[in-house]
Structure 1
Amino acid sequence: MPRLCANLSMLFTEHDFLERFDAAARAGFSGVEYLFPYDFAATDIKAKLDANGLTQVLFNLPAGDWNAGERGIACHPDRTEEFCAGVQRAIDYAQVLGNRQVNCLAGIQPAGVSTEQAQRTFVANLKYAAAELEKAGIRLVMEAINTRDIPGFFLNTTTQALAIRDAVGSSNLSLQYDIYHMQIMEGDLARTIETNLGAINHIQLADNPGRHEPGTGEINYDFLFNFIDTLGYDGWIGCEYKPATSTEAGLGWLKAYNQI
């Protein structure tokens, strides 16, 4: 069974953010991920990780004004300076937290910006981020997201992500494969993961429809977990789902896989 980590931006939200580390450990998770650490002191987060014996698995590069609806700025031509500063900020946090991987959100394609211009900007920003992160011993991943949940998001499919990875040309850039998003955008999950396993360095999960825990929707997680295990994937799988009720009430699926 692949290693599972708790996404603290989605799970245990009944608790304040720093208390979610305690709750994740009590539930049996050994690793955590979340959207952003930047609203908290890195030393405070590190103390929670250490107190609970948790591995810091992943967080995102700064992504603009999230509360205002921004979902990344990496494809925004007028914000490259802000993007580059965000890379340095992420490195500062990652070095304190022991985090060895960060995700880049492409963002929503800005009005008036052509697809070609957005792609040139995205590729240039990824080149910069991959190089700077590599110097710090940190891997970079990028995530394709479905256009139903985030209309206009620039990066939508595995094929597009692979083409952008080729254009960047860095061995320090991989894919973050989100099972929920890719079920909506392209399906054929097992074959896509198998074909592109060498380019995938992180996986996330949720069921569809509803983005709830495995077993609540159409995705055959019994098969998929066994299949991913058979492939020899040795990375983490982030549990990035919206609990159908409360987090604790919905953890039965983990017990079924002997994870807690």
Structure 2
Amino acid sequence: MRRRSFIQKTVMTGGALSLGGAFSYAKTPNTTAAHQFNLNYAPHLGMFKNHVGVDPIDQINFMADQGFTAFEDNGMMKRDVALQTKMGETLAKRGMTMGVFVVDKGGNMANTLAAGKKEYLDIFLDGCKRAVEVAKRVNAKWMTVVPGGFERKLPIGVQDANVIEALKRGAEIFEPHGLVMVLEPLSDSPDLYLQNSDQTYMICKGVASPACKILYDIYHLQKTEGHLIHNMGLTWDEIAYIQIGDNPGRKEPTTGEINYKNVFKWIHEKGFEGVLGMEHGNSKEGKAGEQAVIDAYKEVDAFM
């Protein structure tokens, strides 16, 4: 699944919702003790809609009742301000950590940061400034940034320098607020500038700011480079956020080739206390498919 389609689908699921929905699930207290996960897995809107409906608040409450301690929402910046505020309040009430949202127009194939063009930089910096306000409403710390595509007419070293200089400017916006843009290498297209963990590590070292780190998406990096534990170890001091998806298919753990139990055990032993975003689809439809996602995480998290 391409990232653009994945984000658009997620936004369509929750972006048009208002606060006027029926809060039937939220009004019904859960009497079953929540599962205690070892790591902070973060579902997204739409993942459990067959259990509780499409209302975002009901969905967040359901996630919390299942034991999930975090939540992520790629399309948060596109949501109504009142809904953003309500979601932030609900997360705080349930003791859940807000994971990433995508910086709107933070860098895409239409305004690649590798080109070094002022108009593209201005679009990126405007997105960063608006992201700060959204982060305040939902108590977020991390925002996803994808620098865009290659600028094929320029030498790669010049492209690297252009990206680093643009991200330094973004870091100047985020750093005073204690916020972190996390750079995500992707496998969706050979035209994407950022594709590997070592390349992203180099970029972060060049920016040299606590506001610029790596989003290590296990699904994408299994496709582009493999050797997951080895490569995470090499770049670990710059990794601030992790995302999940099995390969092939980009569905929940246990549906593909990745040994998630071993990967999660290694991450836990590294002392990682951050968020692991569940940025994948469900392998099966309906309530049964949603329960299969929950059961899969219980299975691969049982590494103690």
Distance 1:17 1:89, change over 3 A: farther
Q: Which residue of 1 aligns with 2:24?
A: none
The 3-state SS of whatever aligns with 1:127 is: helix
Deviations 1:117-176 (A, max 9, x none): 543332122101111101112122111111xx2341110001111111122222321111
User: Would you say 1:11 and 2:47 are equivalent positions?
Assistant: yes
Distance 1:111 1:190, change over 3 A: closer
Distance 1:23 1:118, change over 3 A: farther
1:56 to 76, 95, 98: 98
Q: Is the 8 A contact 1:103 1:143 kept in 2?
A: yes
The 3-state SS of whatever aligns with 2:120 is: helix
Question: 5+ unaligned residues in a row in structure 1: which ranges?
Answer: none
What is the Cα deviation at residue 94 of structure 1? 0.5
Q: Is the 8 A contact 2:245 2:252 kept in 1?
A: yes
Q: Is the 8 A contact 2:70 2:99 kept in 1?
A: yes
2:256 to 214, 217, 220: 217
Amino acid at match of 2:179: I
Q: Which residue of 2 aligns with 1:207?
A: 246
Higher relative contact order (CA 8 A, sep 6+): 1
Distance 1:45 1:80, change over 3 A: same
Distance 1:13 1:150, change over 3 A: farther
What is the Cα deviation at residue 220 of structure 1? 0.5
1:22-41 correspondence to structure 2 within 5 Å: 22-41=61-80
Q: CA RMSD in A?
A: 2.6
2:180 to 139, 153, 158: 139
C-alpha separation in 1, matches of 2:61 and 2:155: 45
- Identity fraction in percent: 25
C-alpha separation in 1, matches of 2:224 and 2:165: 25
1:37-116 correspondence to structure 2 within 5 Å: 37-51=76-90, 53=94, 54-63=96-105, 70=109, 73-76=112-115, 77=117, 78-109=119-150, 115-116=156-157
Amino acid at match of 2:297: L
Question: 5+ unaligned residues in a row in structure 2: which ranges?
Answer: 1-37
Distance 1:169 1:49, change over 3 A: closer
Structure with greater Cα Rg: 2
C-alpha separation in 2, matches of 1:17 and 1:123: 40
Q: Which residue of 2 aligns with 1:162?
A: 201
Task: Write 1 or 2 for the structure with the bigger share of strand.
Answer: 1
C-alpha separation in 2, matches of 1:143 and 1:178: 7
Q: Is the 8 A contact 1:74 1:122 kept in 2?
A: yes
Q: Is the 8 A contact 1:63 1:107 kept in 2?
A: no
C-alpha separation in 2, matches of 1:101 and 1:71: 23
Amino acid at match of 1:135: P
Amino acid at match of 2:40: R
Q: Which moved more, 1:48-57 or 1:153-162?
A: 48-57
C-alpha separation in 1, matches of 2:302 and 2:257: 22
Size of the aligned set, in residue pairs, is 253
